[in-house]
């Protein structure tokens, strides 16, 4: 029967492993000089001795130290402590709080030192996509999740396979890169609903409480930083100003847990997987003004309402001067903002993993791609000297992709779109009067 409740302790170890060895070694029940009186929990069913340490926030604070996350960013000691703390709200949960920590994570709760207590711990009881510990209650979700892009990282793998192009032993090298880097964002039930994204080293979201609606900043953004870095700043996104977050648009189960059936082979670009559309809310937009009526069939909304976008280069830093990109090009029959996803120096991108690549083998996939609809403003900043919004594009060659912008011209020339002609004096006056 306890299989029903065995999500219990996923993030305990996740957070614990994020700590330096010196912290782990001292965080033992026997460290009487720093320990405080163990809490007495109201739930007599959960008697795990793990709570002698992990149920005392003051004790965890006394033992925790500043550390780094998987990106090299600072993680404060308080975040570490909170990431190790299992609170009463979880322990007293009548459903998930009944199983002991060791039921899910194993280990030795009777041990008096941290090293022995944590020996043979199961880092992630939901690493199988929840089949063992979640499936008893969430059978359909778990079944679908086996095909989810969050679980399989199929979209990333597909793009990586295309990027490596003619690389010798490509399958082996794709596997090395996925295992050594990309799968750091691989999502399991626990890493979304109990813990935080593993790469952040932040441990638990809410002291091990099972979160039906995960915290966006702790769970979504660490992995989807290219789609969301800056999303939660009002100056870059008008939607945040009115209280929207990731779930406001991406609200259906299939976008997180998959649709079942064949694995989503193209990741987020798989047709029909991402259901969100501007028109879900802005149903009258195509006919709301003359500009919309003229451009609805030929120009994507974000071409006019988008703001600068942080591309992959913001983290991988292959070419710092290209960190923020906003160029217009054509994609799927419409004008879209394009972002530069990698650069000519990308052959060294995985040197740290011991994966050696050759540039000539990588020129098989465009480096420019359409920009998603995450950074939006009601009216974009006009180019210098522009009198009306129309002049941002009309007669402005600078905002459109040019031949010299292309990394792999033979592959990317299809994206080029000639800037529309400059407005006549009469058209400009008419536009100003509206």
232 or 60, which is more confident: 60
Number of structural domains, the chain? 1
CA gap 97, 108 in Å, rounded: 19
Residue 36's pLDDT band (cuts 50, 70, 90): very low
First to last CA, the chain: 68
For residue 397, is pLDDT > 50? yes
**Rounded average pLDDT over 400-417:** 91
Residue 311's pLDDT band (cuts 50, 70, 90): low
Minimum mean pLDDT among 9-18, 102-111, 233-242, 419-428: which range?
9-18
Closest by Cα among 10, 7, 13, 207 to 96:
7
- Partners of 330 in beta bridges: 335
**Rounded average pLDDT over 231-239:** 70
234 or 120, which is more confident: 120
Rounded to the nearest 5°, which phi and psi values hold at 306? -80, 160
105 or 347, which is more confident: 105
**Rounded average pLDDT over 274-294:** 89
Residue 71's pLDDT band (cuts 50, 70, 90): confident
312 inside domain: yes
Residue 231's pLDDT band (cuts 50, 70, 90): low
Domain housing 384: 277-432
CA gap 131, 125 in Å, rounded: 10
For residue 370, is pLDDT > 50? yes
- Partners of 337 in beta bridges: 328
Closest by Cα among 97, 121, 123 to 43:
97
Instruction: Extract the tokens encoding 32.
Output: 């009487």
For residue 308, is pLDDT > 80? no
46 inside domain: no
Our measurement of the distance from residue 420's CA atom to the centroid of its chain's CA atoms, rounded to an integer in Å, reads 36
CA gap 143, 257 in Å, rounded: 9
Minimum mean pLDDT among 53-62, 161-170, 258-267, 291-300: which range?
258-267
Minimum mean pLDDT among 117-121, 289-293, 342-346: which range?
342-346
359 inside domain: yes
Residue 38's pLDDT band (cuts 50, 70, 90): very low
- Partners of 338 in beta bridges: 327, 370
20 inside domain: no
pLDDT at site 116: 94
Length of the chain, please?
Answer: 434
pLDDT at site 342: 55
386 inside domain: yes
Per the rule left: phi > 0, alpha: psi between -120 and 50, beta: everything else, 272 is left
427 inside domain: yes
Minimum mean pLDDT among 1-15, 164-178, 294-308: which range?
1-15
Sign of CA dihedral 225, 227, 228, 233: positive
Contact 163, 364 (CB under 8 A): yes
For residue 291, is pLDDT > 70? yes
Residues with Cβ within 8 Å of residue 175, at least 6 apart in sequence? none
pLDDT at site 190: 94
329 inside domain: yes
Span 122-155, pLDDT tens digits: 988 999 999 999 998 999 999 999 988 899 888 8
For residue 238, is pLDDT > 60? yes
346 inside domain: yes
């Amino acid at each position: 029967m306890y299989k029903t409740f065995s999500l219990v302790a996923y993030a305990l170890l996740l957070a614990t492993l994020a700590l330096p060895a010196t912290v782990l070694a001292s965080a033992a029940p026997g460290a009487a000089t720093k320990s405080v009186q163990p809490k007495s929990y109201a739930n007599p069913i959960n008697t795990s001795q793990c709570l002698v340490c992990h149920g005392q926030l003051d004790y965890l604070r006394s033992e925790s130290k500043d550390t780094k996350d998987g990106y090299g960013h600072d993680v404060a000691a308080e975040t570490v402590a909170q990431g190790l703390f299992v609170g009463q709200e979880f322990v007293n949960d009548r459903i998930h709080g009944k199983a002991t920590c060791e039921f899910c994570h194993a280990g030795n709760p009777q041990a008096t030192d941290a090293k022995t207590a944590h020996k043979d711990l199961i880092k992630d009881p939901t690493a199988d996509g929840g089949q063992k510990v979640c499936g008893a209650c969430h059978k359909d979700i778990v079944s679908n999740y086996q095909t989810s892009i969050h679980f399989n990282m199929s979209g990333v793998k597909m793009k990586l396979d295309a990027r490596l192009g003619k690389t010798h032993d490509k399958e082996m090298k794709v596997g090395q890169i996925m295992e050594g880097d990309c799968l750091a964002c691989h999502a399991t039930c626990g890493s979304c609903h109990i813990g935080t994204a593993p790469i952040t080293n932040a441990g638990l979201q809410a002291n091990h409480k099972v979160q039906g609606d995960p915290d966006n900043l702790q769970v979504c953004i660490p992995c989807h930083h290219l789609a969301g870095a800056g999303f939660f700043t009002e100056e870059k996104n008008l939607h945040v100003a009115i209280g929207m977050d990731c779930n406001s648009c991406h609200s259906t189960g299939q976008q997180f847990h998959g649709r079942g059936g064949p694995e989503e082979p193209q990741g987020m670009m798989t047709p029909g997987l991402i259901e969100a559309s501007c028109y879900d809310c802005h149903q009258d937009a195509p006919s709301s003004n003359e500009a919309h009526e003229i451009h609805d069939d030929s120009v994507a909304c974000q071409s006019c309402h988008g703001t600068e976008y942080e591309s992959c280069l913001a983290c991988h830093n292959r070419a710092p001067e290209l960190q923020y990109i906003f160029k217009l090009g054509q994609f799927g029959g419409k004008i879209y903002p394009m972002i530069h996803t990698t650069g000519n120096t990308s052959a060294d991108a995985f040197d740290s993993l011991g994966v050696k690549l050759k540039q000539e083998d990588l020129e098989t996939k465009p480096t420019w791609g359409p920009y998603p609809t995450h950074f939006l403003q009601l009216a974009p900043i006009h180019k210098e000297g522009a009198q009306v919004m129309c002049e941002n594009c009309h007669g402005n060659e600078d905002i459109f992709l040019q031949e010299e912008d292309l990394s792999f011209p033979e592959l990317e020339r299809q994206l080029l779109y000639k800037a529309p002609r400059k407005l006549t004096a009469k058209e400009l006056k008419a536009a100003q009067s509206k």
